[in-house]
Amino acid sequence: METIVECKNLTKEFKGKKAVDDVSFSIQSGEVVAILGPNGAGKSTTILMMLGLLHPTSGEVSLFNQSPHHQKVRERIGVMLQQVSLMDALKVKEVLAVFRSYYPNPLSMEEMIRLTGLQEHELKKRTEKLSGGQKRRVSFALAMAGNPDLVFFDEPTVGMDSTARKQFWTKVQQLSKAGKTVLFSTHYLQEADDVATRILLFDEGKLIADGSPVTIKQRLLKKTVSFKAEGIFPFERFLSMECVSDIQSENGKIVIQTDDTDHVLLSLFSEGIPISDISIDKGRLEDAFEQLTVEQGVS
Ligand SMILES: Nc1ncnc2c1ncn2[C@@H]1O[C@H](COP(=O)(O)OP(=O)(O)OP(=O)(O)O)[C@@H](O)[C@H]1O
Ligand SMILES: [Mg+2]
């Protein structure tokens, strides 16, 4: 496996406030990685640093084991930023042509046009005349212009209707099948879960979890009931409950992982199990999680 992205202790401060705080991760070839987090978590800032468009206050980034500024690196990456800005004075077709000319092995013009989803008469429009969703689709085509090995999408589906969104994710899946490495940011756990092979969960500038969608979901959703138990604790009986996913012994306490703490407590009391020092932990990811489960308006 080739390491495609390497971030080491990345920190970015704006006026003394940390927007990204000591973030490290590496991404291997072929991974589809979601950068998931609420507003202001530091997703865009991290992406801009990976692209070499923002200088880190401290820490290092390398893409394909080189600086992101390296020409050879630039030729291998495609980017769709959160703020779409196209060359307003040009017609769509001209912008497509300009972007193709930047790369040694560009996509064909026909393929680029197909990706925009625009009709012939729309390709003659100046880019500023396009709707928000159309602009994003053109921006997607531009990201693909160089037939990149690594693509960055910052909030790619914002403003797309449900058809455009489905087409977009289908295209991402095709890219992944073709062995490309994909990084995208999103606010939505569902979107990350549907598409990504791995989730980097950001909150308040920190990378607070890194794992498969299954692992991250489990950490986000599960709460724990912990207590000291006297005598022998009926592990089996509690493990067989539907709402219990795991039971561990930690520092002399029993820790039950569950999505229904009320039910677990009720069972403990109704069975008269002698326990003390009870605590309920909603998980340290809870705050971030609450903002990540709001469904997207259109699905
Ligand atoms: N150029 C800047 N100058 C000052 N502060 C900034 C700048 N860019 C970002 N920030 C701050 O850094 C923090 C992280 O911002 P960032 O845009 O990376 O978050 P995000 O996770 O992409 O959020 P969103 O989901 O809203 O796009 C925020 O508190 C933001 O206000
Ligand atoms: Mg952002």
Measure the CA–CA gap between 194 and 198, rounded to whole angstroms.
11
Q: pLDDT at residue 185 above 50?
A: yes
Bridge partner list, 172: none
| Ligand 1, atom 25: closest residue by C-alpha | 39
Alpha helices by DSSP H, 222-282: 235-239, 261-270
Q: pLDDT at residue 17 above 60?
A: yes
The larger pLDDT score, comparing residue 286 to residue 142, is at 142
Q: pLDDT at residue 299 above 50?
A: no
* pLDDT interval class at 133 (50, 70, 90): confident
Answer whether 45 contacts ligand 1 (Cβ < 6 A): yes
Q: What is the pLDDT of residue 297?
A: 43
Answer whether 53 contacts ligand 1 (Cβ < 6 A): no
Q: Say which DSSP state 1 is in.
A: -
By CB atoms closer than 10 A (0-12, 13-18, 19+), residue 292 is: buried
| Strands, sheet with 198-203, edge to edge from the N-terminal-most edge strand | 77-80, 150-154, 181-186, 32-36, 198-203, 206-211
Q: Which token pair is 292? A: 């990540």
pLDDT, one tens digit per residue, over 21-31 is: 999 999 999 99
Looking at residues 199-204, what average pLDDT do you find? 93
Compute the mean pLDDT over every residue in the chain, rounded to the nearest whole number: 89
pLDDT, one tens digit per residue, over 55-66 is: 999 999 999 999
Q: pLDDT at residue 19 above 90?
A: yes
Measure the CA–CA gap between 152 and 139, rounded to whole angstroms.
12
Atom of ligand 1 nearest to the CA of 15: 4
Residue 96 CA to its chain's centroid (Å): 27
Q: What is the pLDDT of residue 295?
A: 47
Choose the weakest-confidence range: 2-11, 84-93, 94-103, 204-213. 84-93
The larger pLDDT score, comparing residue 228 to residue 221, is at 228
Model pTM? 0.81
* pLDDT interval class at 177 (50, 70, 90): very high
Atom of ligand 1 nearest to the CA of 44: 22
3 state SS of 267: helix
Q: Which token pair is 160? A: 């797309």
Which ligand minimizes its atom distance to the CA of 45? Answer: 1
Determine the length of the chain. Answer: 299
Looking at residues 107-134, what average pLDDT do you find? 90
3 state SS of 104: coil
Cβ distance 218 to 232 under 8 Å? Answer: no
